[in-house]
Amino acid sequence: MNLQKSQQAFEEAKRYIPGGVDSPVRAFNSVGGTPPFIERGQGAYLFDIDGNRYIDYVQSWGPLIFGHCDKDIEEAIIDRVKKGVSFGAPTELETQLAKEIVSLFDSVDKIRFVNSGTEAVMSALRLARGYTAKDDIVKFAGCYHGHSDSLLVSAGSGAATFGTPSSPGVPADLTKHTLIAKYNDIESVKRCFKDSKNIAAVIIEPIAGNMGLVPADKEFLEELRKLCDENNTLLIFDEVMSGFRASLKGAQGIVDIKPDLVTFGKVIGGGMPVGAFGGKEEIMKWLSPEGPVYQAGTLSGNPVAMAAGIATINKLKTNPAIYVELSKKAKRLMEGFQAAADAEEIPFVTEVRGSMFGFFFSDKVVKNFDDALENDQKRFARFHKEMLKRGIYLACSPFETGFISTAISDDMIEETILAAYEVMREIA
């Protein structure tokens, strides 16, 4: 595979942008090599500037559930662009998208739109702290909630790959308010509640997608709900990734547990920059201008982004069977990878939730971040590189999740599995 133009572009980018990228994972640090620079996407495919074509299982890290250049979403965006791209004044589009989400999520009475998942979580935490008049929060090792100060504590994803539990530049005075618990381990949460009587919120990815794909056990989430209630602590589900991905109702469509606040992002923007946080009326009314907790944004609820979101959610709502189809494909893909690994006696485990899939080069079922860290990262890097050579674009870190879009056909899944057989043989 020729990546000459990408190599040049990467060198050029590095002269002007730190590491040549605007988000660290894109630099391919954990797998090595040059990241293909993308020229365009079409349906299930990505095309790089050297003319290579890839089946895209990353989909902009989750948002593109209908693949690239979906006609309906494209039309909605173009139509809005022609009417002006931003007003900084209310539009009916915001209410429309809000209505769609509120109608799907029992736990959400009201919602506010922001521009990214990071912003959504950051704002939800401030609201939780304001509402409860408490300062501490609990997060789980391996869960990622964006890059705001309070949450860059033992974070997964990019930070985990770099092996740094927190980042320079984050004041210890802030992170001392963040307690770290172990995923799927209720005793570790109880210890947090013993150590602090000042816990405003417990935040969790109910289906973790940033330490690889690691779903929380239902009983664990139930006990978490109970613990929060007993301690007057809010439970926040970060569904930035799992929302509209794991099911039409996110993780909440799979386990019947109601959080107090929910954060969204990724799919709800249909590929445009959108985040949102919502919850019970009683809590949401604390938000300015209705209440005292301040939060704002010049481009929040941007009309073009709202239009893309509305088109996306509408398509999903009118055709909920999409999730059955996506899940079937994800399962087939993971069964295929598993069989390919088994054929070479390579330790391998897989997981699927709706349109999300994950795998580890490991012989144990992964329940938490410590388990995840035991995967064979060197073998993953070789697997990734060889798959890429064969035109299969997988997430470039073992701590990320893969995604199926409606544009990915059964034939493409089989093509991918065939490539996996070849590659497993090579890396055995």
Ligand X SMILES: *Cc1c(COP(=O)(O)O)cnc(C)c1O
Q: Shortest gap between Cβ of 387 and ligand X (angstroms)?
A: 22
Nearer residue to ligand X within complex by CB, 129 or 147: 147
Q: Is there a catalytic annotation at residue 421?
A: no
Q: How far apart are CA 114 and CA 395, in angstroms?
A: 26
Catalytic residue among 54, 131, 144, 323: 144
User: Which residue has the closest beta carbon to ligand X?
Assistant: 117
Comparison of 228 and 236: residue with beta carbon closer to ligand X: 236
Q: Which is nearer to ligand X, 145 or 384 (CB)?
A: 145
Nearest approach in angstroms of CB 275 to ligand X is: 6
Q: Which is nearer to ligand X, 56 or 205 (by Cβ)?
A: 205
Minimum Å distance from CB 123 to ligand X? Answer: 12
Stretch that binds ligand X, among 161-169, 205-213, 248-256, 403-411 (CB under 6 A): 205-213
Residue from the set 121, 180, 246, 412 that interacts with ligand X by CB under 6 A? 121
The reply to whether 353 sits near ligand X by the rule CB under 6 A is no
- Min CB(242)–ligand X separation in Å: 7
160, 192, 204, 240: which one binds ligand X (CB under 6 A): 240
Decide: is 400 part of the binding site for ligand X (CB under 6 A): no
The least distance separating ligand X from the CB of residue 381, rounded to whole angstroms, comes to: 22
In the bound complex, what is the minimum distance in angstroms from residue 305's beta carbon to ligand X?
12
Catalytic residue among 134, 249, 266, 329: 266
> Which of 238, 260, 371, 376 is in the footprint of ligand X by CB under 6 A?
238
Residue 202 makes contact with ligand X by CB under 6 A: no
Q: Is 144 in the site for ligand X (CB under 6 A)?
A: yes
Give the active site residue among 48, 56, 136, 238.
238
**Closest CB 63 distance from ligand X, rounded Å:** 9
265 binds ligand X (CB under 6 A): yes
Residue 146 in the binding site for ligand X (CB under 6 A): yes
Least distance (Å) between residue 321 CB and ligand X: 25
Q: Which stretch binds ligand X (CB under 6 A): 39-47, 203-211, 301-309, 408-416?
A: 203-211
The verdict on whether 134 is a catalytic residue reads no
Stretch that binds ligand X, among 78-86, 178-186, 202-210, 410-418 (CB under 6 A): 202-210
Beta carbons within 10 angstroms of residue 246's beta carbon: 27
Residues 101-120 within binding reach of ligand X (CB under 6 A) = 116-118
Q: Which residues contact 129 (CB under 8 A, 6 or more apart)?
A: 135, 137, 200, 201
Three-state SS for the chain is CCCHHHHHHHHHHHHHCHHHCCCHHHHCCCCCCCCCCEEEEEECEEEECCCCEEEECCHHHCCCCCCECCHHHHHHHHHHHCCCCCCCCCCHHHHHHHHHHHHHCCCCCEEEEECCHHHHHHHHHHHHHHHHCCCEEEEECCCCCCCCHHHCECCCHHHHHCCCCECCCCCHHHHCCEEEECCCCHHHHHHHHHHCCCEEEEEECCEECCCCCEECCHHHHHHHHHHHHHCCCEEEEECCCCECCCECCHHHHCCCCCCCEEEECHHHHECECCEEEEECHHHHCCECCCCCECCCCCCCCCHHHHHHHHHHHHHHHHCCCHHHHHHHHHHHHHHHHHHHHHHCCCCCEEEEECCEEEEECCCCCCCCHHHHHCCCHHHHHHHHHHHHHCCEECCCCCCCCEECCCCCCHHHHHHHHHHHHHHHHHHC
Q: How many angstroms separate the CA atoms of 330 and 157, rounded?
A: 21
144 included as an active-site residue: yes
By rule CB under 6 A, what count of residues binds ligand X? 15
Distance (Å, whole) CA 211 – CA 238: 14
Q: Smaller CB distance to ligand X: residue 182 or 385?
A: 182
Tell me if 209 contacts ligand X by CB under 6 A: yes
Ramachandran region, residue 69 (left: φ > 0; alpha: ψ -120 to 50; beta: rest): left
Residues tagged active-site: 144, 238, 266
Give me the residues that bind ligand X (CB under 6 A), please: 116-118, 121, 144-146, 205, 209-210, 238, 240-241, 265, 275
